[in-house]
């Protein structure tokens, strides 16, 4: 799955050399793979839909949904985009979700409220509402409401972890629509995201992105950072959760500790480190396809396939 760097070998040519021969030029080792941005392109056999989840004065929360054309009932995956909680990066995540749709999933991307539009827990509430919306439209989109997972990277990875770890806790649902539907997930993938916001902020200079998202620094309101940390909510019954990270990315605080808590409870977890991958790896090749391969295997194990 991962590439091995191939070192070139130098061969000496046979023959007679001059008294002061000119050194033969060396063959440079191949450079690490350069990233190639991927762009959305709905694949054959898949239809794209757009659905309004909830309309607020500051932003209309929408779902972009990819549905396989073939008959059947499919497992579903909700994508939660990154962007520091402040930038809308739905378009950048579409190629990944298009590829997963082509592999036999209903996939959806939620356009949640950003930090400049509404403070935490608005983004979390919107993700929960998006899951309820998927279930409310299960027949229309040919998905199985009992088999839904979530995934996200960077800020979206934080939210994906938080959605998964608070799965089944009604106090995190917010006041969004489709309250007759559950917001649970049966499996989750966290990509390149810190899972312990307390450890990441308590002894550090104020983080402007976090302050914009929460409306205050850790020093001002530590309880919000505790509540918004996925690691806080690890408990029996949370879904299997794996982590994908880039070799060239920075350390994601709380990931290892959260895995230890999951393992202690007998909940499946693993970490996959993509060779040479930067942040955010899932938006470019060759790592987009590597991410899709990992996600496809994991979600088919825990969500199943078309029925």
Residue 21 belongs to some domain of the structure? no
pLDDT-based confidence at residue 70 (cuts at 50, 70, 90) = very high
**Is the residue at 17 inside a domain?**
no
CB atoms within 10 A of CB 50: 9
pLDDT at 97: 98
Q: Which of the four pLDDT bands, split at 50, 70 and 90, describes residue 19?
A: very low
- pLDDT reading at 20 higher than 60: no
Instruction: For residue range 168-180, list pLDDT tens digits in order.
Output: 999 999 999 999 9
| pLDDT tens-digit readout, 270-303 | 999 999 999 999 999 999 999 999 999 999 999 9
Answer for the pair 163, 124: CB distance below 8 angstroms, yes or no. yes
92-102: pLDDT as tens digits: 999 999 999 99
Residue 116 located in a structural domain:
yes
Whole-number pLDDT of residue 11: 33
CATH of the domain at 270: 3.40.50.1820
Question: In sequence order, what are the beta bridge partners of 270?
Answer: 242
**Structural domain count of the chain:** 1
pLDDT at site 99: 98
Classify residue 215: in a domain, yes or no. no
Q: How confident is the model at residue 29 (pLDDT cuts 50, 70, 90)?
A: low
Rounded Cα distance between 1 and 141, Å, is 32
HEC string for the chain: CCCCCCCCCCCCCCCCCCCCCCCCCCCCCCCCCCCEECCCCCCCCEEEEEEEEEECCCCEEEEEEEEECCCCCEEEEEEECCCCCCCCCHHHHHHHHHHHHHCCCEEEEEECCCCCCCCCCHHHHHHHHHHHHHHHCHHHHCEEEEEEEEEEECHHHHHHHHHHHCCCCHHHCCCCCCCCCCCCCCEEEEECCCCCHHHHHCCCCCCHHHHHHHCCCCCCCHHHHHHCCHHHHCCCCCCCEEEEEECCCCCCCCHHHHHHHHHHCCCCEEEEEECCCCCCHHHEECHHHHHHHHHHHHHHHHHCCCC
Q: What is the pLDDT of residues 90-131, one digit of tens each?
A: 999 999 999 999 999 999 999 999 999 999 999 999 999 999
Q: What is the mean pLDDT of residues 142-164?
A: 98
Q: How many other C-beta atoms can be found within 10 angstroms of the C-beta atom of residue 14?
A: 5
| Structural domain of 259 | 43-195+234-303
Radius of gyration of the chain (CA): 22
In this model, does residue 9 exceed pLDDT 70? no
The predicted structure's pLDDT at residue 164: 98
For the segment 200-214, what is each residue's pLDDT rounded down to a tens digit? 999 888 899 999 999
Residue 118 lies in a domain: yes
Question: For residue 165, is pLDDT > 60?
Answer: yes
26-30, 218-222, 256-260: the lowest-pLDDT one:
26-30
Task: Please name which of 141, 155, 150 lies closest in space to residue 87, comparing C-alpha atoms.
Answer: 155
Does residue 155 lie within any of the structural domains?
A: yes
Q: Is residue 275 part of a domain?
A: yes
Residue pLDDT, tens place only, 180-192: 999 999 999 999 9
Residue 30, pLDDT score: 55
Percent of the chain clearing pLDDT 70 (strictly above): 89
pLDDT at 76 over 50: yes
For the chain, what is the mean pLDDT? 91
Predicted pLDDT at 260: 98
CA dist., res. 109 & res. 79, Å (int): 5
pLDDT, residue 32, reads 56
Q: What is the pLDDT of residue 34?
A: 74
Classify residue 92: in a domain, yes or no.
yes
Q: What angle do CA 156, 162, 280 make, to 5 degrees?
A: 25
What pLDDT shows up at residue 28? 57
């Amino acid at each position: 799955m991962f590439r091995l760097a191939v070192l070139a070998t130098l061969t000496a040519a046979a023959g007679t050399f001059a008294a002061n021969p000119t050194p033969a030029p060396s063959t440079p080792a191949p450079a690490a793979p350069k990233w190639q941005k991927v762009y959305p392109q709905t694949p054959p056999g898949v239809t794209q839909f757009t659905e309004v989840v909830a309309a607020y004065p500051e932003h209309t929360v929408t779902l972009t949904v990819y549905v396989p054309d073939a008959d059947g009932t499919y497992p579903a995956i909700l994508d939660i985009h990154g962007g520091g909680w402040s930038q809308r990066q739905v378009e950048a995540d579409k190629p990944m979700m298009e590829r997963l749709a082509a592999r036999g999933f209903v996939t959806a991307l939620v356009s949640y409220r950003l930090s400049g539009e509404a403070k935490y827990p608005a983004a979390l509430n919107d993700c929960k509402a998006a899951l309820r919306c998927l279930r409310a439209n299960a027949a229309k989109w040919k998905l199985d409401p009992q088999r839904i997972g979530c995934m996200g990277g960077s800020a979206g990875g934080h939210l994906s972890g938080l959605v998964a770890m608070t799965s089944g806790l009604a106090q995190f649902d917010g006041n969004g629509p489709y309250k007759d539907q559950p917001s649970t997930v049966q499996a989750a993938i966290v990509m390149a995201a810190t899972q312990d916001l307390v450890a990441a902020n308590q002894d550090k200079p104020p983080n402007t992105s976090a302050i914009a998202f929460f409306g205050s620094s850790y020093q001002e309101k530590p309880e919000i950072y505790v509540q918004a940390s996925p690691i806080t909510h690890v408990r029996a019954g949370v879904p299997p959760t794996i982590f994908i990270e880039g070799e060239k990315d920075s350390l994601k605080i709380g990931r290892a500790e959260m895995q230890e808590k999951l393992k202690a409870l007998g909940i499946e977890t693993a970490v996959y480190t993509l060779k040479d991958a930067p942040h955010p790896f899932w938006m470019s090749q060759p790592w987009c396809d590597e991410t899709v391969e990992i996600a496809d295997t994991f979600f088919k194990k825990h969500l199943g396939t078309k029925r």
